[in-house]
Structure 1
């Protein structure tokens, strides 16, 4: 039995070394040092070369280095009968929690407006509301979104969450399904996008749904770049329907230098840093999952097994 790490160099070697530290007894191989492909039972994947996974006949599981799996499933030859495990790690949750909480506060305190006034050397006192007077809406209240919703509610914000299926989170008003989307959006003064990339979520924030938000609402996208119709967002910002946007993910990454988001005065761009996978903690998660499965454990006991039907 062996583990193959499939990633771009030099990240491939770094992950191999981190995994070996937690499991010196395991045969862990960095691509392209594959050796006998029949011996590979686990693949640790970030950006695998297309077709490489299909060449592993005895593959038991694929372990994604990211919370998402788009980088793996885009390989049309990926073995569809082999379970794919998303990265579920404290460092991802904490990183996303820090990012979203920080930017929710930034928009709650109307910092983009004050920054614009500073550029114009204009002194205009506008006192922000208290947290209990501010409603935050979170689209996507799964593992990460649920943690964030509870944190923001604990800080005193009025929090509402939306998901495809009904959820129950203490202190959070939960909405479910497309039929409730308008009612959810109408009360979201700060909208946080944390949805996965699926056919149903593509451009879910578009001209129609942006118009459902309260005038002057702010948008934070830390989920997937595919969630937003980019032209519609720019139009909503230009018309003042949306007051400001903080964007961490984009349809094309890195964001092209000539993209209008860079220069738009109401948009803050961050380079996909909201929930970065960290070597030290994520490598242990992977090794623990491999040991569990090789010891006869069930996939049912592992958090983050990808559901192809749901798309996440």
Structure 2
């Protein structure tokens, strides 16, 4: 059995981090590092992240594509994909915990006004800032899939007042649920810290726009750890400059790496992180891949298989 590892951003060291555990689990398993794939007819499964458009159609015996991450929008943009085979989003425990850590870190930073304290340090100003109790801080998460649900549960455990908004109604312990277009306005009106963890689809592209930001309470903060395509950049800058939005933490962008001349780098009310909210960890991802292969071989459905109609 041959598995293609097609992740051009990774180096040989990352490849080895995947190859050794996979081959240890099954000595008959051969991991091939793109572009040195050998006979294309040998490839049974593919582990990919941002493969070159058109590459996936080269493998006539390909059975499953595992996307090395939870977001598949860029993969699905390749219209030559073999859509007749399962395409699986890799949602593993390490990816989930990493995203939750990021959400907690920056929610707490916004909750306690750390951006104000950072500026005070630069200005050598000693001024204590009172922040509300966590139970009085209203946090809202857009997107209640595996990542959003886990982050919501951890925020509830910290006693935040948590609400979620999703395409369809979700019932989560301690979380006030809103859904659909009809529930969006009320969700935004009560949200002081907005966290975007939505999948990027035709319906959600550009959803973080001037209209949406204006529906948040004055002084609200934004965390976007989903996709750059969710955000209308100019609308955010306008909302920050007007004072309606107090601060934004951005981990994802329309173009990555973020160009050096992008105004986000130097805006005093924006925190930029280089798409590190959550990264796929071989230690926790490999068991998920192996389980997916076993399920496929026995004819059973693989969790997190992409619904092409929904786009995720």
> What TM-score do you get using the length of structure 1 for normalisation?
0.94
1:201-212 matched pairs, under 5 angstroms = 201-212=204-215
Query: Equivalent residue for 1:229?
Result: 232
Give deviations 1:221-266, integer Å, cap 9, x for gaps.
Answer: 1111111111010111111100011111111111100100000111
Q: Counterpart in 1 of 2:96?
A: 93
Does residue 164 in structure 1 map to residue 161 in structure 2?
no
Once the 2 structures are TM-superposed, how far is the Cα of residue 122 of structure 1 from its aligned partner? 2.9
Aligned partners of 2:154 and 2:239: how far apart in 1?
Answer: 29
Q: How many Å apart are 1:311 and its aligned residue?
A: 1.2
Q: Normalised by the size of structure 2, how large is the TM-score?
A: 0.94
Deviations 1:67-116 (A, max 9, x none): 11133222221111111000110000110111101111111111111222
Q: Secondary structure at the match of 1:173?
A: strand
Q: Which deviates the most, 202-211 or 282-291? A: 282-291
RMSD of aligned alpha carbons: 1.6
Q: For 1:201 and 1:222, locate their aligned partners in 2 and report how far apart those are by CA, in whole Å.
A: 14
What is aligned with 2:60?
57
Match of residue 282, structure 2, among 274, 279, 284 = 279
Q: Deviations over 1:188-220 (max 9, x none)?
A: 000001011111111111111100000000111
Q: Does 1:311 align with 2:290?
A: no
The answer as to whether partners of 1:23 and 1:287 remain within 8 angstroms in 2 is no
Does the Cα contact within 8 Å between 1:46 and 1:71 map onto a contact in 2?
A: no
Task: Confirm or deny that 1:137 pairs with 2:130.
Answer: no
Give the deviation of 1:17 after TM superposition: 4.1
1:42 paired to 2:42? no
Partner SS, residue 220 of structure 1 = strand
5+ residue gaps, structure 2 = none
In structure 1, the residue matched to 2:87 is 84
The verdict on how the C-alpha distance between 1:153 and 1:52 changes in structure 2, with shifts beyond 3 A counting, is same
Q: Aligned pairs, how many?
A: 309
In the other structure, the counterpart of 2:200 is 197
Structure 1: how far apart are the matches of 2:137 and 2:256? Answer: 32
Q: CA deviation at 1:286?
A: 1.1
Residue deviations 1:25-73 (CA, integer Å, cap 9, x gap): 2133222233332332211111322222112122211011111113322
Aligned to 1:6: 6
In the alignment, what sits opposite 1:75?
A: 78
SS at match of 1:170: coil
Partner residue of 1:261?
A: 264
- Of 150, 153, 166, which aligns to 1:150? 153
Stretch deviating more after TM superposition (10-19 or 228-237): 10-19
Partner-residue secondary structure (3-state), 1:28:
strand
**Cα distance in 1, alignment partners of residues 127 and 6 from structure 2:** 54
Q: State which of 288, 298, 301 in structure 1 corresponds to 2:300.
A: 298
Quote the offset at 1:18 in angstroms: 4.4
**Deviation readout 1:152-210 (Å, 9 max, x if unpaired):** 11211000000011100010000000121111000100000101111111111111110
